[in-house]
Structure 1
Amino acid sequence: MKKSLILLLMMATFVAFPNTVMATEKAPMHTTTPAAPEIPAEVKVMLNRLEEIKAMDKSTLSSSEKKELRKEVRKIKKDVRASGNGLYISSGAIIIILLLIIIL
């Protein structure tokens, strides 16, 4: 009984969720990628400086110089994130907006 029930459930899943992989001779769809947004010049300068710091040989630097480099890297990363010009909405705000739309 148990084996037949499991077999029946397996067959039902095979029927309900068919594998849709099919070998066809159709030409593949070509998609175009959108152009990358223009990066401001000041951000490019900051990113170039980060690359310079990564490429440095830090084994010859003193601990205070390494500390200054770490501070500079943190500051640059913070500034790059701040210049992202993104719009961030919290999940609570989205829920409230959706409730207002539904109610009104």
Structure 2
Amino acid sequence: MKKSTLCLLILVLSIGFFPNTMLAASGNLSTTPVTEPVEVPAHVQVQLDRLNEIKAMDKSDMSSTEKKALRKEVKVIKSSLRSSNSGIYLSVGAIIIIVLLLILLL
């Protein structure tokens, strides 16, 4: 009796999962909303333009001191672009600890 109940339970649960996967596969992709491009602030755009100029430069005829100055400038621009982003960054270890704490507390 227990074996037939277990088989029936597995059958009902497996039938319940199949329609969900079929609906997900046949979803209409044209109904997804199109997001508008995000406006880039002027000072950020100036820095990005400067990075593109440096990238496009022909550095073969430059001296080593000029190349070194360009590398420093690129590092400064990239660090200022990273610091201008406002957001919360979590490492993988922090996420694992948060999940473990949630599991233990709940």
Q: Tell me the TM-score normalised to structure 1 length.
A: 0.60
Which one has a larger percent helix, Structure 1 or Structure 2?
2
Q: Tell me the TM-score normalised to structure 2 length.
A: 0.59
Identity %: 55
Q: Does 1:44 align with 2:45?
A: yes
Q: Where in structure 2 are there 5+ consecutive unaligned residues?
A: 1-17
Give the RMSD, CA atoms, in angstroms: 3.2
Equivalent residue, structure 2, for 1:68: 69
**What displacement does 1:91 show?**
4.6
Show CA shifts across 1:18-52 (max 9, x none).
Answer: 9x78xxxx894312332233222111110000001
Instruction: Tell me how far apart the structure 1 counterparts of residues 27 and 103 of structure 2 sit (CA, whole Å).
Output: 44
Q: Where in structure 1 are there 5+ consecutive unaligned residues?
A: 1-17
Equivalent residue, structure 2, for 1:6: none
Equivalent residue, structure 1, for 2:29: 29
Show CA shifts across 1:62-87 (max 9, x none).
Answer: 11001100110111111111111121
Aligned length: 82
Equivalent residue, structure 1, for 2:105: 103
